[in-house]
Amino acid sequence: MPTGKHGIAIHRGSGNFRKGMPQLFFKKVFLEAIRAGRKTTTLRHWAKCRIHPGDRVYTLGLGWLKIDMVESVELAALAEADARADGFDSLADMIKAVEAIYPQHKTDGNPWYRIHFAVDEMTVIPAKGKRRGKHKQTARLRVATRVENRRIGHGEKSALAGFMRGALDKAVAAGRLSVDL
């Protein structure tokens, strides 16, 4: 399988992947804990590490995460504090979830990686229940992400420029922003 930047696998023919855009996938039950800051680490069982400190990775349903640290760990050496950082109430709960997600982990020989991350607040996508009336905001975040990745057409650039001018004008008029020329 071909790999892109940082050794991330590029899956051709799948709409869920974009060339060169590293991603981390989480089960839906973990997304709210990540948004709330209760989950700041994740364990991955990979043949080789696909993510490096300083990377920004995209998470479906959440937005961008900044990778702070990646370390190789032994599952048996993890403690209660590690489970709480991973969003679990106890180490037993975390081990139970890990074994359900990676049932082959005892026999496949792959190492464990603990990934420390932080939500990039500029691109976080609100939870579904909190989106009411915020569809435009979510759409703007998606456009902003496309701008950052330089995958934006001329029409979208014009629309974004208009939005930014309007937002700045409103902020100045409301006294939230001052402009010194």
For residue 131, pLDDT beyond 70: no
Of 75-79, 126-130, 136-140, least confident by mean pLDDT is: 136-140
pLDDT tens string 33-79: 998 899 999 999 999 988 999 999 988 888 889 999 999 999 999 99
Q: Answer whether 158's CB lies under 8 Å from 147's CB.
A: no
Partners of residue 172 on adjacent β-strands: none
Summary mean pLDDT of the chain: 76
Q: What residue type is assigned to position 33 of the chain?
A: A
State the CB neighbour count (10 A cutoff) for residue 138.
13
CATH code assigned to 5-125: 2.30.130.30
pTM confidence score: 0.60
What residue segments make up the domains of the chain, in order of their start? 5-125, 129-173
N- to C-terminal Cα separation, the chain: 53
Q: Is residue 6 pLDDT above 50, yes or no?
A: no
54, 106 Cβ separation under 8 angstroms = no
CA atoms within 13 A on the CB side of 178: 1
